[in-house]
Structure 1
Amino acid sequence: MNERILGVLEYGKIIENLTSFAETSLGKEAAHKLKPSSNLEEVKKLQEETDEAQQILRLKGHIPLGGITNIKPHLKRTSIGGVLSASECLDVATTIYGGKELKRYIEAMEEPELPIIRDMIDTIHPLPLLERHIKNCIDDNGVVMDGASDALRSIRSKINTLESRLRDKMESYTKQQSEKLSDAIVTIRNERYVLPVKQEYRGSIKGIVHDQSSSGATLFIEPQAVVDINNDLQEARVQEKREIDRILAELSEAIEEDRPILSENVKVLAGVDFIFSRAKLGRSMKAAMPLMNKEGRIVMKQARHPLLSDEEVVPNDVELGTDFTSIIITGPNTGGKTVTLKLVGLCTLMAQSGLQVPAMDGCEMAVFDNVYADIGDEQSIEQSLSTFSSHMTNIVDILEKVDDSSLVLFDELGAGTDPQEGAALAMSILDEVVEKNARVIATTHYPELKAYGYNKENVTNASVEFDIETLQPTYRLLIGVPGRSNAFEISRRLGLREHVISAAKERVGVDSESVESMIASLDEARREAEADYEKAEDVRQEAEQVYKELREQWKQFEDRKEKLYQRAEDKAKQSVEKARQEAQDIVDELKKMKSSAELKDHEWIEAKKMLDEAEPELVEKKPERKQTDETRDLQVNDEVKVLTFNQQGVVVEKISEKEYLVQVGSMKIKAKRKDLEFIKAPKPKQEKPLSTVKGRSSHVKPELDLRGERYDEALHQLEKYLDDALLAGYPQVSIIHGKGTGALRQGVQALAKRHSKINAARAGGMKEGGSGVTILELK
């Protein structure tokens, strides 16, 4: 993309916001370099990455990235044999630890599916041995510890002993000869312990003078008695530094051995932080993942300018590239025309950068090869160009480069010159761009362009609404309705006398007046349509409330029925248990009778009576049948009721005089004639031309699109659709629910788990729609 265009559309401010959400210097570096891509597949991958990160943030709220630093310069130094400092070695260890914690955090997540981020995390290789080696040598403050080596421990022990002896010697001077000292303290000069001696007592304390105060009144003297101890201390410190350098060289060599793995880890960690910074930016804007296309189609519902606060911004619906390729926006100054231009341009650049756009779920954005914009006053004093000349220089450059994969934004096209010539020039420029099939949005004050929008194919008018009552713009974009000048109405409300307004109206041409009348009529029709929509929306909400209440009552009924069934089952179990016990008593009695030579008739009768009485008293009420029902000879396609299942079905085959094959839903069952109740015969089919006869399956598609539907309505549609798909005999169907918040996807998967006719449910593959589609395998 042209850098000037990025500046005009304020893309740099978006990058600044994005950078602020990165937690590591690696992520900030990646965010700062972000530029829009014109490759559709690359953009789709970026959007999927951002969406996966958004899902994690929605479920977990954060991601651990602590301790990760930019160690690329450190690794470069080790590659050329350099030795890292203790703090640099510690940076390597903390980065290893941060990558390990991030890997553990993502691997522990069960939901949702995260194919891209999981693949990235899998490439992180923890280096526990190197991390432990570094942390065994360097503490959290970046200091080499005594335990780093036995030699270092011994040297530091010696240093502590010498410092203690030295301190005792020096303190004896501060106590016994304090009157000769400027201050009764021990200080350091040239890395040696000294005393601040007054100038007049120089000869009283023998030793080496290392420094004096700026006034010359104080000399810093190392007493002769501590010179040898100081020498030993300096030698020990040299040994300490030499041992520390050896330890750091050893750690640097170990880091160099794992440098390829560390470099790859750093690259992955930078990518993860960058992805999550994009997701955090989207969350802050309440943005949605757009569906990307290469057809120049833009559809945004309730879109908001990304750089305006919620208090300032007015959401608008924007659509381009479906029914028309160009929009001409008219309306008053400060009404929001330029904001709309920048909204579309900036959202396009954001979407092509893998950033989500501030609009409702289900939005669509196009991937353009180039975005061109002529916005604002670009008058150049240095080049001695007027505003008109500056605009025309820019427009000439645009016309030379524009093609069918371009988005062009014109602000006040043709302004800055004679109105009649400017309007004609604007129409010619639009003709040129529209004929190249580019996507165009232009703002203008010229009334001639309103008629141009009506007469030109693939071009539509739009306007920014103005409230005549308050004399203030509402900033609402109205596509399909050109803007009115409102000059006479505004003047009247501001107090201009009526005869002046009437005289002005007489000077207005007939064509202009008729256009204004037409626009006024369209505006009135729009207001009436909006009022009707609001009424319809109220009715819909009321119906939805009634539906919810009925569902709740039905649920209560089902719960009550279930309790009654459970109570009946418990009673039946008790009866069966009683029967089992009585039967056992009978068996015991028969065993006793067995010892007799023979049983008498009255004894057998008594035993049979006991068995009959032991039968559980479970009575099943059967539906009444018609007198002639069993005598009717059922035919194929007759509708019948299967009494044993209390379900309706259709006869598909007569097996014998007393047995039939019946289709009940998606099942075929065998049933006795006595268990079938005739309902009605099929209507005789009328002869139709072959081309108009269709099977049921031709009315049922193998996929159902639920995007944009409310949650309850979507699940209701899904249940009805599954019945039709089962009857159509589909082995599997695709349910398109989009990605969005994930609520609809979870609802579809939950229904699939409890549906008896669904074998399995899985997310769509890369060529099936990805996680925006659920594939259901039917029984």
Structure 2
Amino acid sequence: MNIKTLIQLDYTRIRESVSSFCLSEEGKKAAAQSIPLTDKLEADRIKARAMAWTKLISAGKDSLSAPRPPVGEVFSILKTVNAVLPIESIYALGLFCRSVIRTKSFFTAQTEKELPSGIEALSESASLLPDLSDASAEIFRIIDSSGKLKNLKELQEIRSSIQSIRRSIENLIKSYTTNDRLQNALQSNLPVLRAGRQVLALKADYRGKIKGIVHEVSQTGQTLYIEPHDVVQKNNELIQEEFRLEQEIRRILAVLSAELSRFTKSFEKALVIMTELDTSRAAALWGIENRCVFAEDADKTHPLRIIQARHPLLYDKAVPIDIEFRENHRVLIITGPNAGGKTVAVKTIALFALLNQSGIPLPAEAGTRLPFFKSCFADIGDEQNIDQSLSTFSAHMKNVGEMLDKADKDSLIVLDELGNGTDPQEGAAIAMAVLDELIAKNAFVLVTTHHGSLKNYGYTHEKCINASVEFNEGNLQPTYRVLMGVPGESRALNIAKKSGLSPKVIEGARLYIENRQTDISALIRGLSEKYAAVEKAEAECRLKEIDLNKKNEKIQARDLELKQKEIELNEGALKQNKTFLSENRRLLENLVRELREGEITREKTLKVKGFIAELEQSIQTQSADLDKKQRELKKEHCGTADCPPTKKRGHEVFKVGMEVYTANSKVRALIVGRGKKGEWLVQAGSMKISCKEADLRPAHPHKNRPATASFEAPAFSVELTQSETQRAFGTAAGGTSFELRLLGMRLEDAIKALEKHIDMCTIHGLHEFSVIHGKGDGILQQGVHEALAAYPNVKSYGFAPPQDGGTGKTYVQLG
């Protein structure tokens, strides 16, 4: 993909914005130079890393948080034989090693419970990082955490000698500055440094008072900077020792550099992986800041769809647009008024495709999906070239010609104002011929135009789909919304009139085009009316479908209830038979014994026992039939005959996934699990509550809600428990009271959780609850009370009694 296309589609500006989120210089450089990938597997790999970073950062876990100095240039020095790294480069390398070690251990030492699911792409990359613990140990054996050389044993003797010499020099200088005979001869009692040596500022008139070397004379000639002879020797010794110290330090760094050169390949491999992690993390951070999602893959049966797309450079000014292709469509022709957003719409689609193939999320809504392209070409804006003597039309045709040569089924082509800049009739003919060629190559094409014949082309060709940018007839302003399936009018006369062109000229233009425009305008109006009628019909069908689903659910519920009653009746009959058998069996046996003692025959005795056996067999058969019916009912109700057992209350059977009402309230909830004995755990919105089975009653399920459901934890988990004691609000003993636990949360998150909880209580008709905020420093307590005081729906609030939490807990009553 050439740089010109990337610039035209604003891709280069977005990648610069993404690079600003990188922590390292290598990451910023890589992100700023990135281009969309044409290898699908590689593109999926970097997108998976960015998606994993998004989950990790959203969960509050981030292994990369501190910037580090660049190290790329250090590796080239390490490869040079006998090279000595400066201590600054060694320190930068040490920080890099620590960053690699920290990142690798973060993903390998954490357990599955500590990390969110779906970050396998990051764990896989981190596992490939080489072990740099030995290199780090070598570096920080020589330098400390601030980057300074440690006081090594090899340096201690030299540094001690330097300190001793400096003390000797100070004592010698002091012997001169404190000598009473020299007080008038010295300009200052403090020594002066000249060329790194301590000297005395002596008045020129007293030159003979001190014997030594003159290093400098002041501009006025009144002051001589002289180094006494006895100090000269000591300064020479100091210079020699300092030189010896520098040589020893260089030797230590040379040995360390040679040791580190063994790790060069590991350093380079680690830098590549760390840079990849840094750039994908930057993409995730950019996506979070711009409220982005990652696009799904489009295919033949699920073509391109963009939901609520916002061009990232327009920020809050962007009007979200929806673009949806249908199966077998490959060409989108957008028409409509000038400055209505046609170019922005096609540029947004193309930019999204490029960002998607760079592992960057898109400012759109979930459900957005895009095809994968191996090449992208764009012809946008005024391409007039004076140097090559090309007109605007010639320049555009040159670009289009190059596209036609290179385009194929994996190409994305963006053509802005195709066919403009020449005779309209000829321009439209060229435009249609170009589209014919691109369709033959099965390329994916985005076109904007004002040509009426192209609107008809898009309406009649099976590979094309028309779209338009909406225009407000009332204020003669574009709304920037995209209407799929409907071509648009240019509205040139309306825009010209609003821009100040005289009514006389406008009327003249209208007369010229009235006859020619009538047909195309009528066609567009007819299509718009048909489009509106189709939308209305679809809405009516959806309403009918909802009504049918509700009726079907009611019928199924009644059928289930009748079958349950049949089973209950059979159970009653079986119970009666069992009772009869147990009560009469001993009586029958006694009768047999008495008869045996009389004149009864053996055949008669066997006949009585046979009667008892037949009765037992009959009861067993009824029991088996009843069990079979119960299994069939369970299978019909929950999809399997091995459903967990449910408890009955009268004819009401409760199970996981069933919708119920709690107590006498109108709170609609869903059973999510079993509680203690005789209790069920139900969920209303993001709130969970443990209720007695006697306090539950079944509710008809909502439309399209399945019998069983899985629940995803909300952003702020709010747990509601059943209290066995009466609350200060007057809740009946053994009734339901609610607690919002904010312990351990930051104030900002706690206030959000409190507001969400109040809203949920209001929606579900709950008027009382308590907030556990703890005492601590009182920050959370004060913030909660301030939020409650400002919330219009809060009727009253106050601390709990001492036995129920005191000032660590607040009762809230809603109006």
Task: Please state which band the TM-score falls in when normalised by the shorter chain.
Answer: 0.5 to 0.7
The 1:395–1:67 alpha-carbon spacing in structure 2 relative to 1, beyond 3 Å, is closer
- TM alignment of 1:220-299, pairs within 5 A: 220-293=225-298, 297-299=303-305
Q: Secondary structure at the match of 1:42?
A: helix
1:333 to 331, 334, 338: 338
- In the other structure, the counterpart of 1:159 is 162
Identity %: 32
- 8 Å contact 1:301–1:317 — kept in the other structure? yes
Which residue of structure 2 aligns with residue 207 of structure 1?
A: 212
TM-score (norm 1): 0.67
Q: Which residue of 2 aligns with 1:105?
A: 106
Deviations 1:559-595 (A, max 9, x none): xxxxxxxxxxxxxxxxxxxxxxxxxxxxxxxxxxxxx
Contact 1:641 1:649 in 2 (8 A): no
CA contact (8 A) 1:70 1:266 kept: no
Distance 1:198 1:260, change over 3 A: same
CA deviation string 1:734-761 (max 9, x = no partner): x9x9xxxx979999xxxxxxxxxxxxxx
User: C-alpha distance in 2, partners of 1:746/1:112?
Assistant: 18
Per-residue deviation at 1:476? 0.8
Asked if the contact 1:484/1:520 (under 8 Å) is kept, the reply is: no
Cα 1:131/1:369, change in 2 over 3 Å: closer
Determine which of 629, 632, 649 is the counterpart of 1:649.
632
Q: CA deviation at 1:250?
A: 2.3
Q: Does 1:435 align with 2:433?
A: no
Equivalent residue number for residue 96 of structure 2: 95
Residue 666 of structure 1 aligns with which residue? 640
CA distance in 2, matches of 1:180, 1:294: 96
SS of corresponding position for 2:462: coil
Say if 2:324 is the partner of 1:319.
Answer: yes
Cα deviation for residue 84 of structure 1 reads 1.3
| Candidates 510, 513, 516, aligned match of 1:508 | 513
**How many residues align structurally?**
592
Question: Contact 1:641 / 1:647 at 8 angstroms: preserved in 2?
Answer: no
Task: Report the CA distance between 1:378 and its aligned residue.
Answer: 1.4
Alpha-carbon RMSD across the aligned residues, in angstroms, is 4.4
Aligned partner of 1:623 in structure 2 is none
Deviations 1:626-653 (A, max 9, x none): xxxx999999xxxx9976899473799x
- Separation in 2 of the partners of 1:24 and 1:204? 62
Alignment partner, residue 27 of structure 2 = 27
Residue number in structure 2 paired with 1:77: 77
Counterpart CA distance in 2 for 1:714 and 1:382 is 73
Q: Deviations over 1:331-365 (max 9, x none)?
A: 12211111112111111111112222221112211
CA distance in 2, matches of 1:351, 1:714: 40
For the 8 Å contact 2:325–2:465, the answer to whether it is kept is no
Match of 1:581 in 2: none
Q: Unaligned 5+ residue runs, structure 2? A: 555-616, 644-650, 652-684, 688-699, 718-815
How far apart are the structure 1 equivalents of 2:20 and 2:46?
A: 19
CA distance in 2 between partners of 1:501 and 1:82 (Å): 80
Partner of 1:169: 172
Query: Aligned with 2:280: secondary structure?
Result: helix
Structure 2 CA distance for aligned equivalents of residues 103 and 406 of structure 1: 39
Q: Which amino acid aligns with 1:83?
A: V
Closer/same/farther in 2, CA of residues 377 and 743 from structure 1, 3 Å limit: farther
Q: 2:58 — aligned with what?
A: 58
Matches within 5 A, 1:727-766: none
Deviation string for 1:306-344 (max 9, x for gaps)? 2221x2111111234634211111112211111112111
Q: Deviations over 1:77-121 (max 9, x none)?
A: 233231112222222222221122222323324322322211221
Greater Cα offset, 509-518 or 364-373: 509-518
Relative to structure 1, the CA distance from residue 44 to residue 513 in structure 2 (aligned partners, 3 Å threshold; closer, same or farther) is: same
Whether the 8 Å contact between 1:427 and 1:452 is mirrored in structure 2 is: yes
Greater RCO, 1 or 2 (C-alpha within 8 Å, sep 6+): 1
- Residue 507 of structure 1 deviates from its aligned partner by 3.6
Q: What is the CA distance between 1:22 and its match in structure 2?
A: 0.7
- CA distance in 2: counterparts of 1:218 and 1:651, whole angstroms: 111
> Is the contact made by 2:56 and 2:115 (CA closer than 8 Å) also made in structure 1?
no
Q: In the TM superposition, what whole-angstrom CA distance separates every residue of 1:127-175 from its partner, at most 9, and x where no partner exists?
A: 44442343232133432122x22x3111111211221222233244445
State the shift of 1:12 in Å: 1.3
List gaps (5 residues or longer) in structure 1.
551-629, 653-661, 670-676, 678-709, 723-734, 748-779
Contact 2:49 2:277 in 1 (8 A): no
Report the CA distance between 1:412 and its aligned residue. Answer: 0.9
Residue number in structure 1 paired with 2:312? 306
SS at match of 2:359: coil
CA displacement at 1:125 relative to structure 2: 3.9
Distance in 2 between the 1:714 and 1:441 partners? 45
CA distance in 2, matches of 1:631, 1:503: 101
- Kept after mapping to 1: 8 A contact 2:38/2:374: yes
**1:395 and 2:400 correspond:** yes
| Distance of 1:516 and 1:422 partners within structure 2 | 21
**2: distance between equivalents of 1:60 and 1:152?**
46
> What is the DSSP-based 3-state SS (H/G/I as helix, E as strand, rest coil) of the residue aligned with 1:301?
strand
Rounded to whole Å, the distance in 2 between the matches of 1:384 and 1:182 is 80
Q: Retained in 2: the 8 A contact 1:331–1:445?
A: yes
Q: Distance in 2 between matches of 1:329 and 1:127?
A: 56
1:488: how far off?
5.4
Q: How far apart are 1:470 and its partner, in Å?
A: 2.1
2:43 counterpart residue number: 43
Of 384, 404, 411, 1:379 maps to 384
CA distance in 2, matches of 1:539, 1:631: 50
8 A contact 2:338–2:490 mirrored in 1: no
Matches within 5 A, 1:440-589: 440-487=445-492, 505-510=510-515, 512-523=517-528
